[in-house]
Structure 1
Amino acid sequence: MEFLRSFGSAGLFIHAMIDAIIFPIPAFFLQLSLSALNPENAIWLATLGYAGCLAGTPIGYAIGRTSGNLVLARFMKKKWLDSATTLFRRHGEKAILIGSFTPIPFKLFTIMSGCMNYPLWKLLGYAAIGRAVKFYVVGILFYIYGRAAEHMVDRVLGITLLVVGVLFSVVWLLISRFRKRKKLERTVVRMEER
């Protein structure tokens, strides 16, 4: 991290990109330290981190497509990998969306998406939403509150991400129920027509 910090904002872009691929330390920590040093550039730093993450997402996906099982087996116990695979198959979209702004390493989602042949365009779409929340909440807090945001981030960010996660889950549930109801109505209409 010290090496990447020495490159400033370019280091954050690189860190965010490799964070989506394989790097073990989330870019969030570098964003925090750079934003604390220069709060007036916090929005620009959030933008660079966000862009870097989106640039690295297809690379992590490609790793997942080519050798995902081998890579994931090195980082996860077999029972966790089996459990994560089952959950991802059942709730892939929700997992990516919620996981993209939680502390769970995002590389797991990019690699697992490739491993499961999940559509890349959907991965990028959900990553764009979730990662924007994660990077810009920090950027906006530092831009508005300056260095005082450093003490707020742990409290406010955790609560904000939890609230956003709950809101996404509720909206997702409502959309899913609406789709199921529409599908059921179409099925009933078809049966009545016969």
Structure 2
Amino acid sequence: MKIFTPLYIKVMEWSKHKYAPIYLYFTAFIESVFWPIPVDIMLAPMALAKPKRAWEYALFATLFSVLGGACGYYLGSALYDPVVLPFIEMMGYQDKMLVAQSWFDKWGIMVIFIASFTPIPFKVFTITAGIMGMLFWPFIGIAIVGRSLRFFLVSSLMVLGGVRMEDKLVKYIDILGWLTIAAVVVLYFSLKH
């Protein structure tokens, strides 16, 4: 079933909009707090559409993502009982938070790097870092490194791949979309246990 190809074409149209950078930076901020859609979904087509601005997009996506991470950290450290806990209970995320806490216990600060560079939901770990009282500046430093590596890698791949990359993406977008959904489902069930 081809549902991702029309979506990709629409996102490519949006990526050329004059306000697209504002949408990207806003998405980068809220994705680090509560938004479920990864920044890469906007960043990749924008870097393809305007390769001369790809590094700017990666830089500001990093900055706004880390600012959002700081906001998530604050929610976890200062507003856990009145704001975060009711939301976690309403969404049924108690198990995910316990898993995140166990990962912090096991891997320490490196879990922030892993969460900021990989598709693991960054927001869970920004809030958990605040809940667990992780030192703020090391948290910010690791988040900057992980997020910048991820976003600059995405932009680099788009710039270096250019038109050929876009042709490949259009050709395989549905397969990649379904693989991503499968990966999210597997990740969900692995975090649940």
After TM superposition, the score normalised by the length of structure 1 is 0.69
- Percent identity, please: 27
Q: CA deviation at 1:63?
A: 0.9
Please say if 1:12 is aligned against 2:24. yes
* Bigger Rg, structure 1 or 2: 1
Pick 1 or 2: higher relative contact order, CA cutoff 8 A, min separation 6. 2
C-alpha separation between the residues in 2 aligned to 1:64 and 1:148? 43
Please say if 1:51 is aligned against 2:67. no
Q: Where does residue 51 of structure 2 map in the other structure?
A: 39
Task: Work out the number of aligned pairs and report it.
Answer: 154
The RMSD of aligned alpha carbons is 2.6
1:108-147 mapped onto 2 (5 Å cutoff): 108-147=124-163
Q: CA deviation at 1:29?
A: 0.6
Which segments of 5 or more consecutive residues in structure 2 lack a partner in the other structure? 1-9, 177-193
CA deviations 1:74-99 (Å, max 9, x no partner) are: 44543343232122123231211111
Does the 8 Å contact 1:40/1:146 carry over to 2?
Answer: no
After TM superposition, the score normalised by the length of structure 2 is 0.69
Please say if 1:96 is aligned against 2:127. no
C-alpha separation between the residues in 2 aligned to 1:59 and 1:24? 16
Which segments of 5 or more consecutive residues in structure 1 lack a partner in the other structure? 156-194
Q: Where does residue 74 of structure 2 map in the other structure?
A: 62
Does the 8 Å contact 1:21/1:111 carry over to 2?
Answer: yes
Classify 1:79/1:18 alpha carbon distance in 2 versus 1 (closer, same or farther; 3 Å). Answer: closer
